[in-house]
Amino acid sequence: MKGLLFERSLPRFAAARVASTVAPGGGSRVGPLRLAQLEEPPLPGPGWQRVRPRLAGICGSDLATVDGRSSRYFEPIVSFPFVPGHEVVGELDDGSRVVLEPVLACAARGIDPPCASCAASTNGNCERIAFGHLEPGLQTGYCADTGGGWSEALVAHESQLHAVPADMADEDAVMVEPMACAVHAVQSTEVGEGATVVVLGAGTLGLCTIAALRRLALPGVVIAGAKHPDQRRLATDLGADIVVEPDQVHRAVRRHTASLAAGRQLTGGADVVVDCVGNQTSLAEALSIVRPRGTVVLVGMPGPVLVDLAPLWQREVRLAGSYAYRHQTFPTAFEVVHAAALGRLVSALYPLDRYREAIDHAAHAGRRGAVKIAFDLRKGTSAAPWRMG
Amino acid sequence: MPARSARPGFVLDVDRSTPPTLFWHGEQYHLERLPAGSRVVYPPEALPALEHPDAAIRHALLNPLGDSQPLPSLLRAGMRLTICFDDISLPLPPMRRPDVRQRVIEAVLDMAAEAGVDDVVLIAALALHRRMTEQELRHALGDRVYDAFAPQGLLTQLDAEDPESMLHLGTTDAGEDVEISKRAATSDLIVYVNINLVAMDGGHKSVATGLASYRSLRHHHNVRTMQHSRSFMDQHRSELHSSNWRMGRHIAACGIKIFQIETTLNSNTFPEQFAFLQRREWEWTARDRATFLGVSKSLDRTPARLARSIFQSIRSPHQMQSVQAGEVEAVHEVTTRNVYRQQLVEVQGQSDILTMGLPYICPYNVNSIMNPILVACLGLGYFFNLYRGKPLVREGGVVIMRHPTPWAFHPVHHPSYIDFFEQVLAETTDPLEIESKFEEGFATDPWYVHLYRTSYAYHGVHPFYMWYWCAHALQHLGGVILVGGDPKAVRRMGFKPASTMRDALEMAEDVVGRDPSITHMHTPPLLIADVK
């Protein structure tokens, strides 16, 4: 089968990192990712099924991996070589369609009794992701044993599969996994009724978060920082009340909350700031616009950052991470995707052969008026490189 | 040889032999060839200055107009005297030292000292404008006045957001709140020192606006008033004027005594090295042409920031052309006649298109940045309204303005402008909708209030007033085109960007039809079109 393989190669990691400083996505040309003929991964045991991906999205964490910019924190919890791709809608051998819940938790790893987190159904926080009968891997798409979505076949445990309703298009279904991340972020954060919530970033995660906030919580005003015109249009459409460019967020929050400012720091600010960017600038911005005792939620995957935490300390700000989801999150994610018609965020589909173009497109999605770029692995379809957003 | 008398303004009909016309373009200027048949309205030449300004001031103070005694008769030991003066927004550009305010205030203080008046306070009549810096105050008042009053805290600037320093005097017959400086209102005499650059300056507006709070100003600084002021320069057809007059008469009825001093300046606006800016193009000398070319080429290569700093350092050779003092309305009547004498130009009929080159300065960006809102206000609020009778452009016509219009704001002077531009104009450009939906929030925003009171920021509501100044033009016009502006900033304001004047004229034809009539306002120096 055809698939994109990511191998451990330090020189190529380094080359990818250098290339990505010239142009994001540049790691796909010189890095450890290559198109290869692969053996289909064997089923690891009972309860496992073969999944043939139909659409597989390219996520921000995938881009960081391809460009060699991922945190070294992940090294012990991934195994090489692996096939990337964890946003997957695929087909089982019986022809039914499923969405993959990629976390490789205790159930998939054959660990019984499960860890405390899995026992509490918070399988996103599984404490055994480097253990059990599988090679280490926090998710499908980072594990040498399971394959990944950027190929023609992967294997998944039954605990990882969610049936796709017959009337749901593949484009909607491929948005379910990122939406589950947004749903989890909203459900695990205390968003009071009438609260002022700021969403930094309006890529896939930011837009999904806005949609989830509007359907699962009762915020008063949602302020979104979005860099590109199409992102601003979509943010408004999905429920943001005030949508501004990133460098205007600070002023918009100050105005809306009638706050004063002491230097760059607002004296008041938003009740909740959801950081869907995850870099040094966005985290510093979040801390400068959140109110005392407010909450900053990191949804975008961060790496090593240098941020002054004095305001966090002095203002007793809560800084929380939000990773993945619970198993029960997915039904809600299906509902929100359907209600908000999020298949429209899938902007372009590429065949695997054109992976470099796909990754380049994903790395410049906002600037090119796109949101979600995905690989189209459906048989008999010829992937159009561009779709209406 | 006797000096040539000043020639009146006139209207030039452009033909094939007419040289290109000078257009201001912010800190630059361009020559544009207007189509044959266009008209260019030129301002009158500068009237002769008063030969002995200090003597003229003294004469005015001793020989007041209307129902007023000479100033010395109004001064006595033990009284409270408050001297108020126009702020940094006048004159434009700032004039060379000594400023008219310094001359007048020194004369008033001499008389007050002679009468034994000890309780004297000076107030910069800011209304909701930014505070002046020490350097700006020294420039306006002179070092002697500054050093005598500032160290003792007797040179103050209006703080319209300090409830302790404002006094509500009730309402006019029309229900308008009148709230002005408590120090002024509780004084035995207010002496107000004006620089009347245009016809709407002065009169009752001096105290009723210059010393007033938002609570009071909102009654006339609103969209309805602006749309019913046709124009601000014509007292008989200005609702802004009427409202200020109602307030002024209410203030008088409260027993508050005002001794009004108004001065007019001639239109000698630019220093000798920029003399060509005040000459008619076909009269340019070889030296003028060389200067124009040299300056233009240099400015083309000068970074915007440096060019701004060069132009902001210009000190105008304005000269006092008249001074009159006494009772407010009597004084203002004479002042208005003098302003008209310097600025009025008779023009026959309206045109389909009005063009104007906007300079680098307006009342609200002295020593600051001309941000896009101020560009709009200068063109559509001020220049468009420089008419008596009818606007120079017909209803449904098009205004074409030339200005670089950068998306740039002075962060200290104009903080609320940034939010207004980024957030309010992004949602709507309709003045009425803006007024009803956003004004109060900005006017009461504690951050803007804080910056207005303690920093050098215009009040939070000020950008709204700038937009309201445009309301009459926006209602009247079929379109507004900005040549050479930042397209993004221009579109944000609901205007159309054009690269060249030729493109703009073609675009305007889509609105007004083929072969349009075109009038160009050749200003500054300022002119008022008396449109018949």
Residue A281: band (very low, low, confident or very high) from pLDDT cuts 50, 70, 90? very high
Residue A365: which pLDDT band, with cuts at 50, 70 and 90?
very high
Query: What is the Cα–Cα distance from B234 to B239, expressed in whole angstroms?
Result: 10
Does A39 share its domain with A130?
A: yes
Residues A16 and A153 in one domain: yes
- How far apart CA B472 and CA B390 sit, in angstroms, is 12
Average pLDDT over residues A259-284: 95
Q: Which residue type does B102 have?
A: Q
Please tell me whether the peptide bond between A81 and the residue prior to it is cis, using omega within 30 degrees of 0.
yes
- State whether B447 and A259 contact (CB < 8 Å): yes
Chain B residue numbers touching A242 (CB-CB < 8 A): 423
Which domain CATH number covers A110? 3.90.180.10
B450 interfaces chain A, CB cutoff of 8 Å: yes
Q: Answer for the pair A194, A219: CB distance below 8 angstroms, yes or no.
A: yes
- pLDDT at B314 (0 to 100): 94
Same domain, A139 and A8: yes
Q: What is the domain-level CATH number for residue A215? A: 3.40.50.720
**Same-domain status, A34 and A149:** yes
Nearest CA in chain B to A246: B422
What pLDDT, on a 0 to 100 scale, did the predictor assign at position B1? Answer: 37
Give whole-number Cα distances, B480 to A328, A380, B39, B317, B325, in Å: 57, 54, 19, 33, 41
Report if residue A104 sits inside a domain: yes
Domain of A226 in residue numbering reads as 189-321
Say whether B441 and A248 touch across the interface (CB within 8 A).
no
Torsion-angle region of A102 (φ positive above 0: left; ψ -120 to 50: alpha; else: beta)? alpha
State whether residue A54 is helix, strand or coil: strand
Q: Is A119 within 8 Å of A127 (Cβ atoms)?
A: no
Best mutation target among B409, B421, B423 (most A Cβ atoms within 10 Å) is B423
- B445 contacts in A (CB within 8 Å)? 255, 258
Q: Are B94 and B317 in contact (CB under 8 A)?
A: no
- Decide if domain B10-42+272-313+348-531 falls under CATH 2.10.109.10: no
Which residue, among B417, B420, B427, B447, would best test binding to A if mutated, counting the most A CBs under 10 Å from its CB? B447
Q: Which helix (H) or strand (E) element contains residue A230?
A: helix A229-238
Query: Residue-wise pLDDT tens for chain B (532 aa)?
Result: 344 578 999 999 999 999 999 999 999 999 999 999 999 999 999 999 999 999 999 999 999 999 999 999 999 999 999 999 999 999 999 999 999 999 999 999 999 999 999 999 999 999 999 999 999 999 999 999 999 999 999 999 999 999 999 999 999 999 999 999 999 999 999 999 999 999 999 999 999 999 999 999 999 999 999 999 999 899 999 999 999 999 999 999 999 999 999 999 999 999 988 888 888 999 999 999 999 999 889 998 999 999 999 999 999 999 999 999 999 999 999 999 999 999 999 999 999 999 999 999 999 999 999 999 999 999 999 999 999 999 999 999 999 999 999 999 999 999 999 999 999 999 999 999 999 999 999 999 999 999 999 999 999 999 999 999 999 999 999 999 999 999 999 999 999 999 999 999 999 999 999 999 999 999 999 999 999 9
Is the pLDDT score of A387 beyond 60?
A: no
Which of A286, A302, A321 marks a domain boundary?
Answer: A321
A290: pLDDT strictly greater than 70: yes
Q: What are phi and psi of A174, to 5 degrees?
A: -70, -15
Q: What type of residue is B461? A: V
Q: Do the bridges between strand B344-347 and strand B351-357 make them parallel or antiparallel, or are there none, so unpaired?
A: unpaired
Is the domain of A32 the same as that of A151?
Answer: yes
Q: How many other CB atoms are there within 10 angstroms of residue B53's CB atom? A: 19
Q: Do A155 and A205 reside in the same domain of the chain?
A: no
Q: Inter-chain contact A244–B441, Cβ cutoff 8 Å?
A: no
CB contact under 8 A, B423 and A255: yes
Nearest of B272, B273, B198 to residue B43 by alpha carbon: B198
Under 8 Å CB-to-CB from A177, ≥6 apart: which residues?
A57, A86, A87, A88, A99, A100, A101, A102, A333
Residue A274 domain-assigned (yes or no): yes
pLDDT digits (tens, 9 = 90+) for A61-85: 999 999 998 888 999 999 999 999 9
- Can you read off the two tokens belonging to residue A386? 């561009």
pLDDT tens per residue, range A331-355:
999 999 999 999 999 999 999 999 9
pLDDT in tens, A242-262: 999 999 999 999 999 999 999
Decide if pLDDT at A383 tops 90: no
Mean pLDDT estimate for chain A: 94
- Contact criterion met (CB below 8 Å) for A387 and A347: yes
A302, A329 Cβ separation under 8 angstroms: no
Output the six-digit token pair for B532.
């018949």
One-letter amino acid of A360: D
Residue ranges covered by each domain of chain B: 10-42+272-313+348-531, 53-265
A46 and A160 in a single domain? The answer is yes
**B452 to chain A, minimum CA–CA distance in Å?**
13
**To the nearest 5 percent, what fractions of chain B are helix, strand and coil?**
40, 20, 40
Assign A380 a pLDDT band (cuts: 50, 70, 90): low
Which residues from chain B sit within 8 angstroms of residue A254, using beta carbons?
447
Strand boundaries in chain A, DSSP class E: 2-6, 33-37, 48-57, 87-91, 97-100, 154-157, 161-163, 196-200, 221-225, 242-244, 261-262, 265-266, 270-275, 290-298, 318-321, 346-350, 372-376
Q: Is residue A162 part of a domain?
A: yes
Whether A270 and A306 map to the same domain: the answer is: yes
When CB atoms are compared, the residue of B423, B441, B447 closest to A260 is B447
Contact B423 A259 (CB under 8 A): no
Alpha-carbon Rg for chain A in angstroms = 20
Domain B53-265 falls under CATH 3.40.50.11440: yes
How would residue A304 be classed by pLDDT, with cut points 50, 70 and 90?
Answer: confident
Number of domains chain A is built from: 2
Does B427 contact A at CB distance below 8 Å?
no
Positive or negative: CA dihedral B199, B201, B203, B204 = positive
Q: By percentage, how much of chain A surpasses pLDDT 70? A: 97
- Structural element, H or E, at residue B402: strand B393-402
Contacts of B423 in chain A (CB under 8 A): 242, 244, 248, 251-252, 255
pLDDT at A174 over 80: yes
Residue A357 and residue A22: Cα distance in Å, rounded?
Answer: 16
| Nearest neighbour of A255 by CB, restricted to B419, B426, B450 | B419
Complex ipTM > 0.90: no
Query: Which residues in chain B are contacts of A252 at CB distance < 8 A?
Result: 419, 422-423
Determine, yes or no, domain membership for A368: yes
Residue B4: the pLDDT is 59
Report if residue A6 sits inside a domain.
yes
Q: Which residue of B lies nearest to A259 if distances are taken between CA atoms?
A: B447
Selecting from B422, B426, B447 the residue whose C-beta is nearest the C-beta of A261 gives B447
**What's the gap in Å between the CA of B523 and the closest CA on chain A?**
36
Q: Are residues A149 and A213 in the same domain?
A: no
- pLDDT at residue A384 is higher than 70: no
Position A314 in a domain: yes
Q: Look at A251 and B445 and tell me if their CB atoms are within 8 Å.
A: no
The answer to whether residue A388 sits within a structural domain is: no
CB contact under 8 A, A244 and B423: yes
Rounded distance, CA B367 to CA B131, Å? 12
A86 part of a folded domain: yes
B110 within 8 A of B83, measured Cβ to Cβ: no
Instruction: Report CB contact under 8 Å: B445, A255.
Output: yes
**Residues A142, A195: one domain?**
no
